[in-house]
Chain A
Amino acid sequence: MPKRRDILAIVLIVLPWTLLITVWHQSAIAPLLAIRKACHHLVKEIFIIPERLAVRHQQLSDDGVEGKREAGGQVQDSKEYCASDKDIVEVVRTEYVYTRPPPWSDVLPTIHIITPTYSRPVQKAELTRLANTFLHVPNLHWILVEDSQRRTPLVTRLLRETGLNYTHLNVETPRNYKLRGDTRDPRIPRGTMQRNLALRWLRETFNANSSQAGIVYFADDDNTYSLELFEEMRSTRKVSVWPVAFVGGLRYESPKVNAAGKVYGWKTVFDPHRPFAIDMAGFAINLRLILFKPQAYFKLRGVKGGYQESSLLRELVTLNDLEPKAANCTKILVWHTRTEKPVLVNEGKKGFTDPNVEI
């Protein structure tokens, strides 16, 4: 009997102390998490800038023609420096490299360009000329999302060499959802999962309360963009729209704008009664709106052809809130060009050319 009592006593003593210790341990950790996030952002800026500086000094002393910007080509996952953050969902693996060559202004809103891409022979060419266009736009952040199981070295290398400010993501569209060349029966319209991933990345990276002004634009890799377009979209307050050339079987499709400068309809032949009869390249959204409505995504399944854009926009804005750009939607600043699929007949079954040479 004394034994039982002893045991009881010991338990009664030890239990509260263990509870106490665990509780104190937890409360000590919580404030550290907040600091880690701040460390994240600073690491990105601090660890990259000295590299750029070093190369610039070299250029000054070289006086040779150093056209290539090797600077800041650091592919750094800042997670290595700050203790790894397990809060971000596994699918989102980012490579955020802040090596934008000037110009970068502190007052211009950042344009976040979301481009889904997939492997095919013309991919490198398309991304190259797209990058050549983007290099002229100040305060641009390119979010490139690959339709692949893992990030390909081709795209990784290309992004690094351009010197652009980019984020490289990837998500694979499940095989039975991919377009099977039969464009009359698409299961999931191409690029949807990739665009949704980019939206989710934006929502996880940017805080709704932060003062960072941003504009989100969906740019496909085979279209053609004039530089004026990016300056037009920078002043977007909610959602801005403009005409797009070569869509819907017409020279161009455009929103109908009344004398008061409001959009009241759509000048298209293909189903003008869609809620938003506009192409992906014909609108831009303010980042704040994206963050404010975190449930708005492109609908994956059960979307009729041509209704993709509406599936996102109707959750964000009404027709009345649309801001017409490009001189009240009378100028064409973006062309929905498509690149021909190259005929590779001479490759034959085994492939004639060396597969190690990247195209």
Chain B
Amino acid sequence: MATRMKLKLKTVFVLYFMVSLLGLVYALMQLGQRCDCTEHDMPKDRTISRLRGELHRLQEQIRKSEATKQPQKQATKSSLPTIFVITPTYARLVQKAELIRLSQTFLHVPQLHWIVVEDSPHKTPLVTDLLVKSGLTYTHLHMPTAKDRKLQEGDPSWLKPRGVEQRNEGLRWLREDRRAQPGGDNQQGVVYFADDDNTYSLQIFEEMRGTQRVSVWPVGLVGGMKYERPVVEGGKVVRFHTGWRPSRPFPMDMAGFAVSLKLVLANPEACFDGEAPMGFLESSFLQGLVTMDELEPKAANCSKVLVWHTRTEKPKMKREEALQAQGLGSDPAVEV
């Protein structure tokens, strides 16, 4: 009985082992082939198709809501105060590039009127074409600077004030144009002086739109510092944080303030004084318009930098000049 049992057990074990081995071999062969695991795929596939359906439905909804949004946008647009941006510019190699990227920023700002004043005895085709193609609302003016007031080659940039006559011309045109408009001196609007090489974020334009008299904010990378700004206490400007001559009446950069149109129209004599000492250009304009405690601080109580006084390098033209000396200069018909 014992041996029979043993034998039986032995065969059982052997059979068991063989079956397991066969099963293993079968499984290994299955691994090499594509798995037909439909039970795993089904719920995932269902989730995916459901999500896709939802995605398309939501996209449709967005498209529909956008279509209805458009007319509303138009209605709010006309009630926004217009920002008049006065930009003096002069011909140099990087002029077209600067104006193009400036226009690309301005295109995002609703109700903006760009007043470009060229330092030139007549309007140049470069600027004319650029303005037409830009798609902006613009006014193209020109006013040449007197020769003795102009910076010569090799002069440092701070030697003579720049853009004075052009900004004054912009103000003059604005006053003349607005006087003829309905509403007279009570028109809503803001005047901002934007140089063509600075960098503007889109927020600064929304900050300045509500200016009642003169609003101010910090300017980055100016005055030999990371930023210059008015110091605000209790919602009022008490002094200016600047590294250079803080005793000036308004030690700010041109890009750091905006004036309401009403104030500009109410003070027809206010303009920039080209004879003012270096750094006093802004003060010469603002002195007659406003006092320090009337200034409106913007940009979160003058704690955020939303405009930067960047300057563009003069491109090196050594090889061009060498070629031109040989009469092989690049085609001047190609506008750069």
Contact = CB atoms under 8 A, between A and B. Distances in A.
Interface of A: 9, 12-13, 16-17, 19-20, 23-24, 26-28, 30-32, 35, 38-39, 42, 45-46, 49-50, 52-53, 56-57, 59-60, 63, 65, 67-68, 102, 121-122, 124-126, 128-129, 132-133, 135-136, 224-227, 243, 245-246, 248-252, 267, 269-270, 330-332, 335-340, 342-347, 351-353, 357-359
Contacts of B31: 23, 26-27
Contacts of B17: 12-13, 16
Interface in B274-320: 303-305, 308-313, 315-320
A162 to B, nearest CB: 9
Interface in B173-199: 199
Interface in B253-293: none
Contacts of B28: 23
B318 to A, nearest CB: 5
B69 A59 contact: yes
B313 A248 contact: no
Contact of B13 (A9, A53, A245, A352): A9
6 contacts: A53-B65, A129-B200, A269-B319, A332-B334, A344-B225, A353-B227
A67 B304 CA distance: 18
B101 A39 contact: no
A347 B243 contact: yes
B59 A125 contact: no
A32 B42 CA distance: 11
A23 B21 CA distance: 13
Given A53-B61, A129-B105, A269-B323, 7 more contacts: A13-B16, A16-B23, A35-B48, A67-B110, A121-B221, A125-B221, A251-B336
B58 A270 contact: no
A327 to B, nearest CB: 10
A16 B21 contact: yes
Nearest to B59: A49
B336 A332 contact: yes
A133 B104 contact: yes
Interface stretch (B83-91, B92-100, B143-151): B92-100
Contacts of A340: 310-313
Nearest 7 CB-CB pairings of A with B = A346-B243, A249-B319, A346-B224, A16-B20, A125-B308, A335-B97, A246-B315
B311 A339 contact: yes
A252 B330 contact: yes
Contacts of B241: 353
Contacts of B316: 249
Contacts of A252: 330, 334, 336
Given A35-B44, A133-B104, A248-B319, A30 B35 contact: yes
A280 B322 CA distance: 24
B319 A17 contact: no
A103 to B, nearest CB: 10
Contacts of B123: none
B305 A357 contact: yes
B320 A249 contact: yes
A342 B221 contact: yes
Contact of A128 (B76, B80, B199): B199
Interface in B66-118: 66, 68-69, 72, 76, 80, 93-94, 96-98, 100-101, 104-105, 107-108, 110
A325 to B, nearest CB: 15
A49 B311 contact: no
B55 A42 contact: yes
Contacts of B66: 56, 102
A12 B13 contact: yes
B68 A60 contact: yes
A359 B20 contact: no
A346 B228 CA distance: 11
B238 interface: no
Contacts of B93: 246, 251
B51 interface: yes
A27 B61 CA distance: 42
Contacts of B308: 122, 124-125, 128, 359
Contacts of B68: 60
A220 to B, nearest CB: 13
B334 A42 contact: no
Contacts of A126: 199, 310
A102 to B, nearest CB: 7
A23 B24 CA distance: 8
A359 B40 contact: no
Contacts of A357: 218, 226-227, 229, 303-305
A225 B17 CA distance: 74
B7 interface: no
Contacts of A332: 334-336
Contacts of A331: 334
B317 A57 contact: no
B129 interface: no
Given A31-B35, A252-B330, A136 B225 contact: no
Contacts of B200: 129
Nearest to B18: A16
B1 interface: no
Contacts of B225: 344, 346-347, 352-353
B221 A20 contact: no
B320 A359 contact: no
B40 A31 contact: yes
Contacts of A335: 94, 96-97, 336
A136 B69 CA distance: 19
Contacts of A352: 225, 243
B11 interface: no
Contact of A337 (B51, B52, B76, B97): B97
Interface in B7-39: 13, 16-17, 20-21, 23-24, 27-28, 30-31, 35, 37
A347 B224 contact: yes
A345 B30 contact: no
Given A53-B58, A65-B76, A133-B101, A31 B37 contact: yes
B126 to A, nearest CB: 12
A13 B94 contact: no
